[in-house]
């Protein structure tokens, strides 16, 4: 009958190297997530989501599902701790980011007092494109809120509170900036009139439907495989998902397409700048996702590009 060999885990402050906690008789099959829970008992304010544990202060963070006996440590393990600060769940992150632009834009559309001149308060624009732009912007963020609540499947991951504040400032400020110009009393419609607006509107609607379809497909993939099952997405019977034949992240492709068409529809420079910055960020995310897929799956389609078919 074999005897179980228990581990001793010493938790040190990653910055000062001061011992914070010493855990005795830790099961060899214990995960890092379970060690975080044990550490939390000694420091009630440092709940697991705030903890970043590493084997080396400058090394990679340990995953919650890493098993202690599988790590390159002896029976006495030294782990370094870093406080990530207050954390907020991903659902609340996205709700905070999206609710702000939704209502901020409407304040400018209805020309609330003190935004423009006194005589322009609660007046409306004579141009139909302004109303269309408001409808598109509102529907876009309502769609995002619906996806956040009913479609997206979030893990127990969190985001630092300070990062949420930065993201909200970015989204809210850009929303106010572009809304200020589109709803300004001196705003003029696009150069090519209704033709430019209608074509851009059609592309916007298609891209929004495509983006929603991709999110539903990704959600269904997670539901089928479960959190532990790793699969890469494939096109389905929905034609909007056929973009998976050509790119790894068609949700970003459709998102950029929606904002690009919104830029053409409104012919507004702040919208174009927001679209350009969003394209840069989403390209970075798409390349990272594409690289992960290519590394994990040997049968991953070679034709696929990260975000733009056949190009990027």
Instruction: Determine what percent of the chain is predicted with pLDDT higher than 70.
Output: 96
Average pLDDT over residues 90-98: 87
pLDDT score of 224 = 72
pLDDT score of 5 = 79
> For residue 267, is pLDDT > 90?
yes
pLDDT score of 79 = 95
**Integer Cα distance of 244 and 237 in angstroms:** 12
Task: Find out whether 147 and 212 touch, Cβ atoms under 8 Å.
Answer: yes
pLDDT score of 275 = 97
Query: Distance of CA 165 to CAs 49, 86, 100, 118, 311, Å?
Result: 18, 12, 12, 32, 35
> For residue 61, is pLDDT > 50?
yes
Phi-psi region of 226 (alpha: psi -120 to 50; beta: other; left: phi over 0): left
Task: Find out whether 285 and 217 touch, Cβ atoms under 8 Å.
Answer: no
**Integer Cα distance of 53 and 11 in angstroms:** 9
- pLDDT confidence tier of residue 202, bands split at 50, 70 and 90: very high
pLDDT score of 229 = 59
> For residue 103, is pLDDT > 60?
yes
* Structure token digits, residue 185: 């009393």
Average pLDDT over residues 287-297: 94
> For residue 206, is pLDDT > 70?
yes
Digit-coded pLDDT (tens) for 26-41:
998 999 999 999 999 9
Average pLDDT over residues 34-57: 92
Residue 83 dihedral angles phi and psi, to the nearest 5°:
-85, 120
Mean pLDDT (the chain) is 92
Which segments of the chain are extended strands (E)?
Answer: 7-13, 19-26, 51-54, 76-83, 87-89, 158-160
Name beta bridge partners: 89. 158
Residue span(s) of the chain under CATH 3.10.20.90 come to 7-85
Average pLDDT over residues 164-172: 93
25 CB contacts (<8 Å, ≥6 apart)? 6, 8
Place of tokens 């782990």: 79
CA dihedral 204, 205, 207, 211 (to 10 degrees): 130
Ranking 59-63, 179-183, 221-225, 286-290 by mean pLDDT, the lowest is 221-225
Digit-coded pLDDT (tens) for 188-197:
999 999 999 9
DSSP sequence for 59-94: SPBPPTT-BGGGSS--SEEEEEEEE--SEEEHHHHH
User: For residue 309, how many other CB atoms are within 10 A of its CB?
Assistant: 14
> For residue 178, is pLDDT > 60?
yes
Residue 137 dihedral angles phi and psi, to the nearest 5°:
-65, -45
- Pairing label, strands 19-26, 7-13: antiparallel
> For residue 89, is pLDDT > 90?
no
- pLDDT confidence tier of residue 1, bands split at 50, 70 and 90: very low
Instruction: Determine what percent of the chain is predicted with pLDDT higher than 90.
Output: 77
End-to-end CA distance of the chain: 59
Q: Return the ∠ at Cα 135 (arms to 151 and 309), rounded to 5°.
A: 60
CATH classification for the domain delimited by 7-85, as one of 3.40.50.1000, 3.30.565.10, 3.40.1350.10, 3.10.20.90? 3.10.20.90
Secondary-structure percent of the chain, ordered helix, strand, coil, rounded to 5 = 55, 10, 35
- pLDDT confidence tier of residue 257, bands split at 50, 70 and 90: very high
């Amino acid at each position: 009958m074999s005897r179980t060999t228990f581990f001793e885990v010493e938790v040190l402050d990653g910055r000062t190297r001061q011992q914070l906690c010493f855990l005795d008789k830790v099961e060899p099959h214990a995960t890092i997530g379970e060690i975080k829970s044990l550490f939390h008992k000694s420091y009630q304010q440092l709940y697991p989501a705030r903890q970043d544990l590493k084997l080396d202060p400058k090394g990679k963070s340990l995953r919650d599902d890493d098993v202690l006996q599988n790590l390159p440590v002896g029976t006495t393990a030294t782990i370094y701790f870093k406080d990530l600060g207050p954390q907020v769940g991903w659902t609340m992150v996205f709700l905070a980011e999206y609710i702000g632009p939704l209502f901020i834009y409407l304040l400018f559309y209805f020309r609330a007092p003190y935004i423009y001149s006194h005589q322009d308060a609660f007046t409306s624009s004579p141009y139909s494109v302004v109303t269309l732009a408001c409808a598109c912007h509102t529907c876009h963020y309502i769609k995002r809120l619906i996806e956040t609540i009913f479609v997206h499947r979030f893990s127990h991951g969190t985001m630092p509170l300070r990062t949420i504040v930065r993201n909200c400032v970015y989204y809210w400020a850009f929303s106010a900036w572009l809304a200020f110009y589109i709803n300004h009393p001196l705003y003029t419609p696009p150069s090519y009139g209704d033709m430019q607006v209608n074509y851009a509107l059609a592309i916007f609607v298609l891209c929004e439907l495509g983006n929603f379809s991709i999110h539903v497909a990704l959600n269904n993939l997670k539901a089928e495989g479960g959190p532990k099952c790793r699969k890469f997405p494939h096109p389905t019977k929905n034609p909007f998902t056929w973009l998976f034949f050509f790119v790894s992240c068609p949700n970003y492709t459709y998102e950029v397409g929606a904002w690009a068409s919104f830029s053409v529809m409104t012919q507004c420079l702040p919208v174009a700048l927001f679209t350009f910055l969003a394209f840069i960020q989403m390209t970075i995310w798409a390349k990272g996702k594409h690289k992960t897929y290519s590394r994990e799956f040997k049968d991953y389609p070679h034709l696929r590009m990260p975000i733009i078919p056949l190009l990027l």
